[in-house]
Amino acid sequence: MHGIISKPPRAATNLATSRVVLLLLVVMTGVAPISLYILVPALPVLATTFGRDISIAQMTVSLYMVGIALSQLIMGPLSDKFGRRPVLLGGLALMVAASIACIFAETLPQLIAARFFQALGGASGMVVSRAIIRDIYARDRVASMISLVVAALMIGQMVSPLTGGLIETAFGWRAIFYAITVAAIMVAVGIALALPETRRDRAAGSGFRGDVGILIRNRAFVGYVMCQVLASQIIFTFAGGGPYIVVTQMGRTSAEYGAWFATTGFAYLVGNLLCVRFAPRHSLAKLIWFGLALQLAGSLLNLLWSFAGWNEAPAWLFGTQMIVMVGNAFVMANSAAGAISIRPEAAGTASGAMGFLQQGIGALMSQFGAYLGGHSATTLPLTAAVLAISLLCACMMLFVVPRREVVVSEALIEQAEEEETGMM
């Protein structure tokens, strides 16, 4: 009985080999974050058009991020209860309606409110895609598939600001929302036609409260989630302080900062591609520790460069941060795979909790990074913060995840599935 339940259903196994399904996983994951970045070049135009301060126009981005965080918390449990398809299609329908509202917004507050609901619906793809990956792929492929989806997504995110700038220049800022509306409709049609339901059958009496209770009492789940969330905070903290350091302290242009910051995105992309290659042949724990070692080595080097005064030049600061980001990709993908594999039938709830903490804490850490970069004369406070977060991330794996479960992570997952069998 157990051997049957521990494997993905036959239909899920067939889906795992489908390139169409893989493409859908990429686009459903990317529709919300790409819609975030594609509007950024038009923010000055929005401020001028509506006669408001740029800080008010910035709320079309900041509240969008709040919408993403809340969506992760809501859509994940809903997908466990009602299925992946209904939640995805409902979320994308909300995104389409909100995007149309953005097109016809007459005031900036109307646009900000519509953007919030756009994120709330669109981010359903971010959380549900991780759950679908756990549904249809074998356990030893979960981390590599998450990395592959993220790698493809990173390419889209890197070109989306340029795309948004070109659209705004040629057709005006409202054309950006026409493009988002069309994209959301195309993704919804693709899901409706090509993606069957992948959610596992739930045990009788199981539900959101039971799933949450089991997950938060599991040390491995807590450790993996906190490891993933803390790793993501390195990105938010560095991104928050980087502009102030490069433009204010180093006296470089914002365009030059953008070019240097793109190198960290490229390093993260490389890390994900390497993870895709090595994940099937190495254990989850080894890959996480490899990433943690790179994070610690890179952040320690950057701190040493700060003491020496060398990373007052962008090449030193960002060159070393690239090492951190390669490791960061390994840590985030594999710790996420570990978290959503603890209780496969509650993969949506696990993914949602992880995404909510990542985005919610990330908003605070971005502000913290901006404070460190904007109120310092050197790079030392920011690089010290990155090293501290890297150390905390390693402590989660060292002290929170039980060591026997880290070494035998498959046994942990088998045990969780046996518990599900007993409930059935």
Same domain, 89 and 147: yes
Contact 121, 20 (CB under 8 A): no
Same domain, 151 and 220: no
Same domain, 339 and 309: yes
Please give the chain's pLDDT, 424 residues, in tens.
333 333 444 455 556 557 888 889 889 988 998 998 888 778 888 888 898 887 788 788 778 888 988 998 899 889 888 889 999 999 999 999 999 999 999 999 999 999 999 999 999 998 898 888 888 887 667 878 888 887 777 777 777 877 888 888 889 999 999 999 999 999 999 999 988 888 876 554 456 677 778 888 899 999 999 999 999 999 888 877 887 788 788 888 766 777 787 788 889 889 988 988 888 788 888 999 999 999 999 999 999 999 998 888 899 999 999 999 999 999 998 998 888 888 877 777 888 888 888 878 887 887 788 788 878 888 999 999 999 999 999 999 999 988 754 333 444 444 444 443 343 3
Measured at the alpha carbon of residue 134, what is the angle toward residues 128 and 139, in degrees to the nearest 5? 165
Residue 350: predicted pLDDT: 84
Contacts of 112 (CB under 8 A, 6+ apart): 59, 60, 63
- 55 CB neighbour count, 10 Å cutoff: 9
**Cα dist. 209→74, 146, 215 in Å?**
13, 27, 10
Contact 73, 352 (CB under 8 A): yes
Domain boundary among 154, 181, 200: 200
Residue 419: predicted pLDDT: 42
Contact 128, 188 (CB under 8 A): no
Same domain, 150 and 187: yes
Q: Which of 328, 327, 323, 310 is nearest to 263 (CA)?
A: 323
Same domain, 213 and 196: no
Residue 14: predicted pLDDT: 59
Residue 22: predicted pLDDT: 85
Q: Which long-range contacts (CB under 8 A, 24 or more apart) does 192-196 make?
A: 192/85, 192/89, 194/18, 194/20, 194/21, 194/24, 195/21, 195/24, 195/84, 195/85, 195/88, 195/132, 196/11, 196/15, 196/85
Same domain, 118 and 231: no
Residue 5: predicted pLDDT: 34
Same domain, 326 and 269: yes
Same domain, 213 and 142: no
Tokens read off for 280 = 């099937």
Domain boundary among 177, 200, 223: 200
Distance CA 349, CA 81 (A): 9
Residue 173: predicted pLDDT: 92
Contact 168, 44 (CB under 8 A): no
Same domain, 138 and 166: yes
Same domain, 193 and 241: no
Q: DSSP secondary-structure letter at 379? A: S
Its domain, for residue 172, covers 2-200
CATH assignment at residue 259: 1.20.1250.20
Distance CA 275, CA 195 (A): 26
Domain tally, the chain? 2
Same domain, 63 and 140: yes
Same domain, 267 and 416: yes
Dihedral of the CA atoms 417, 356, 71, 83 (nearest 10)? 0
Domain boundary among 140, 169, 200: 200
Distance CA 102, CA 63 (A): 14
